[in-house]
Amino acid sequence: MQGTRTLQGQITRSISRSLLLALGLVFSANAAFAGTANFVVDDPKKRDTVSFTSDAPVELIVGNTNKITGSISMDDSLDFSKQPFSAVFDVDLASIDTGIALRNEHMRDNFLETKKFPKATFRVKSVSAASTQLKPGKKVTVQAVGDFTVHGKTVSKTVPVDVTYFEPCKQEGVKFPDCAMLQIRAEVPVAFKDHDIKRPEIVFQKLADTVFVKISATARAVKEDAKGDKKADKKAEKSAKKTK
């Protein structure tokens, strides 16, 4: 009986080791095939735009800037619901132009205080939608949840974002070489009281309490080198230098 139990124990241990080995091979295979798709917003031709609109009863005020940068990292299946996922966008507030030099100066110095708070940042924590899978040429509207920081004050925001993916190609005349990119469109309401922004009445008595910020940007695909460092596609870099 003792010999039978010993034999059974050996068989059980052998089966367990085999199962663990098989599971290890499966996980290793999945890890080998898993990848990350990386995109950056940094158009050297300044075609990305961020604008705010203040539609007060007295006057309509519009401000614009092309200085937006950002990065998106996601599973290479292009499914926002899968990990890893991260996204962050920065806007240079000191570059906003309202069309009047004096108003721009007051906005930078007394309103947004850009010397202390030079950027607006939206750091996305999660994305949800009926369908989170990106497919070539098809717009997907997602709800991006994250931290929105302006004037040193961070609030949680849920922002509807339209995203369209364009797959790699060799077509001439596209926005970026090799085509691969994400087209991003969003509108964000920003209430001044949420960010402790006080309106200087002398210049901004006509400004609404809430402005609407529109973002139109394209994130181009970037590749990683053998060390895992993100590097822009060489063709894109050469193209950007030629346009300067």
Domain encompassing residue 113: 35-243
Band of pLDDT at residue 171, cut at 50, 70 and 90: confident
Q: Same domain, yes or no, for 92 and 22? A: no
CATH code of residue 166: 2.40.128.110
Q: Same domain, yes or no, for 59 and 9? A: no
- What are 176-185's pLDDT values in tens digits? 877 899 999 9
Q: Does position 168 have pLDDT exceeding 60, yes or no?
A: yes
Q: Does position 4 have pLDDT exceeding 70, yes or no?
A: no
Q: Same domain, yes or no, for 19 and 41? A: no
Q: Same domain, yes or no, for 226 and 125? A: yes
The Cα-based distances of 162 to 65, 70, 108, 187, 240 in angstroms read 20, 16, 30, 10, 26
Q: Does position 208 have pLDDT exceeding 90, yes or no?
A: no
> Contact, 102 vs 65, CB < 8 A?
no
Which is nearest to 180 in space by CA: 171, 191, 188, 189? 171
- What are 56-73's pLDDT values in tens digits? 877 888 999 999 999 999
Helix (H) or strand (E) holding 219: strand 210-224
Q: Does position 123 have pLDDT exceeding 90, yes or no?
A: yes
Q: Same domain, yes or no, for 215 and 232? A: yes
Band of pLDDT at residue 244, cut at 50, 70 and 90: very low
Q: Same domain, yes or no, for 25 and 42? A: no
H helices of 36-114, in order, are 101-106
Band of pLDDT at residue 1, cut at 50, 70 and 90: low
Which is nearest to 220 in space by CA: 72, 88, 74? 72
Domain count, the chain: 2
pLDDT over 90 for what percent of the chain?
58
Q: Same domain, yes or no, for 10 and 116? A: no
Identify any residues that bridge with 165 across adjacent strands, giving them in sequence order.
Answer: 136, 182
Q: Same domain, yes or no, for 40 and 20? A: no
More reliable by pLDDT, 95 or 16: 95
Q: Does position 239 have pLDDT exceeding 50, yes or no?
A: no
Q: Same domain, yes or no, for 9 and 41? A: no
Q: Same domain, yes or no, for 79 and 8? A: no
Q: What pLDDT does residue 227 have?
A: 47
Query: Across all residues in the chain, what is the average pLDDT?
Result: 81
Q: What pLDDT does residue 233 have?
A: 46
Q: Same domain, yes or no, for 20 and 113? A: no
Q: What pLDDT does residue 14 have?
A: 54
More reliable by pLDDT, 110 or 153: 153
Model pTM score: 0.76
Q: Same domain, yes or no, for 78 and 170? A: yes
Tell whether the torsion through CA atoms of 97, 103, 105 and 107 is positive or negative.
Answer: negative
